[in-house]
Amino acid sequence: MAKGQLFEYAVLFHPKPTKDPAGNDTTPKSEIIVEPTRILAENEKEVSIKASRAIPEKFDDKMELVEILVRPF
């Protein structure tokens, strides 16, 4: 059995820039949609898969704006 390694992951949502009524570009702030989470896993690929499963359903149609961050220890 392989030893697990400690990783931490978080998932961010980066909204697209929009225009306000005056025609000015406004960029909403990015938000954390999955809080930083520690996990034991064999590799970063396994962590990425588990992180993607933690993304709320309301972001299913906006996946191109979602970023998964993985950090090994």
Q: Please, are residues 11 and 66 in contact by the beta-carbon 8 Å criterion? A: yes
Pairing of strands 18-19, 31-41: unpaired
**Which of 24-33, 35-44, 64-73 is least confident?**
24-33
Name the pTM for this structure: 0.84
Predicted pLDDT at 9: 98
